[in-house]
Amino acid sequence: MRKIALTAALAISLAFAIISSCNAHRSSERPIYEETQSKSTTAAANTAITGSRQTVITEVAKRCSPAIVGINVIEEREVVANPFGDMFMDDPFFRYFFRGFPQFRQRQQIRSLGSGFLISPDGYIITNDHVAGRATKIVVTTAGGKKYNAEIIGSDPVTDVALLKIEGKNLPYLRLGNSDDVMVGEWAIAFGNPFGLFDRNAKPTLTVGVVSNVGVNLVEPASYVPNGKRIYRGMIQTDAAISSGNSGGPLLNADGDVIGVNTIIFSTATSYQGAGSIGIGFAIPINRVKRIVNLLRDGKTLDRNFYTGLTVDFLNEDYRRAYRTDREDGIIVTQVERRSPAEKAGIEPGDILVEIDGTLIHSRDDLDVAINDGVVGQSLRVVIERDGKLLTKTLTLERRR
């Protein structure tokens, strides 16, 4: 009986051992099978990704790159030359001693570069005024390396827009979009010629980001501009990388439509080659550009040489007490010239400028944007506060006397 029980126990133990062995074999095989299956799935996924690498960005790049141009400019500028050179000018005594000596002026040729884009099959090109507006010679390089001499059809220094023309037929060109419906967060695609890289292989550089902000107003001093300021109104901000040389290139949306002209960057100039991008760039809205370009193409000029006769100051605590106003910020009129446009409009010292042609006036920059974007003969709707009441006046810009 014991022998039978022992035999049964051995049989059961052997059976469990065989089952365990089979289970262990299956366990050792399962990872191999699953790994093979995983590799197969990954390969299939990679194939799918490879097969769908075409995106809206690559489509825009393929379709729009041929219409981008590099611009090389020669500009003559008058500079003041020191007849004694610069060897003594580090010494304060010599600077003082030589300050009464006559200064010699000479003209120098300055070379610079920028970007642009074709807007018609017969060779019209949009770029910035600060790229080509004062050039004596302009050479345009198209994608593929062909070079053209370009002429300036017209330029508006205040808005920083220039229209060029090259001789050609059936040239590729870009479609101008509608900057009024640009959305913050949508794709922004910038093309251009950063640091002159277009000249290396006759291809434009593309960078991608999003629209970061819209409706940004900026004012920049410029000595050769009427009224001494460039007016950047309603700018489109983007984080698409824009660097030195990108000025004048297009900013496009995901449909390949031009929504702006790349113009200004905030940068840290750490390279000897110039300023680089830190992700804050601004483009002139294309609707604003279209209005200027249509005038320039028709041979018209924008007469910005006007004046208003207004002298203004910031609304500080002293003014608030003197004129009994509760406004926290703004611009107050301190003086009005006799027989000036401001006097004819009925504006008086002590009036607080509240709004001009729809632009709320909180600072001097707001005032510059609202007024200095005008032309001779233009009438502006001015809302002022006087004695606690809002009044509306019409200010007509007159040619500077």
Mean pLDDT across 179-183: 97
User: Pick the catalytic residue: 129, 156, 160, 368?
Assistant: 160
pTM reported for the whole predicted model? 0.77
Has 363 been annotated as catalytic? no
Has 130 been annotated as catalytic? yes
User: Pick the catalytic residue: 247, 277, 351, 366?
Assistant: 247
Has 362 been annotated as catalytic? no
Distance CA 383, CA 361 (A): 10
How far CA 264 is from CA of 12, 131, 256, in Å, comes to: 86, 12, 21
The per-residue pLDDT for range 207-263, each reduced to its tens digit, is 999 999 999 999 998 888 888 899 999 999 999 988 888 999 999 999 999 999 999
The per-residue pLDDT for range 149-158, each reduced to its tens digit, is 999 999 999 9
Domains parsed from the chain with CATH numbers: 63-297 (2.40.10.120), 306-399 (2.30.42.10)
- The CA radius of gyration of the chain, in Å to the nearest whole number, is 34
User: Pick the catalytic residue: 115, 129, 130, 244?
Assistant: 130
Distance CA 74, CA 111 (A): 5
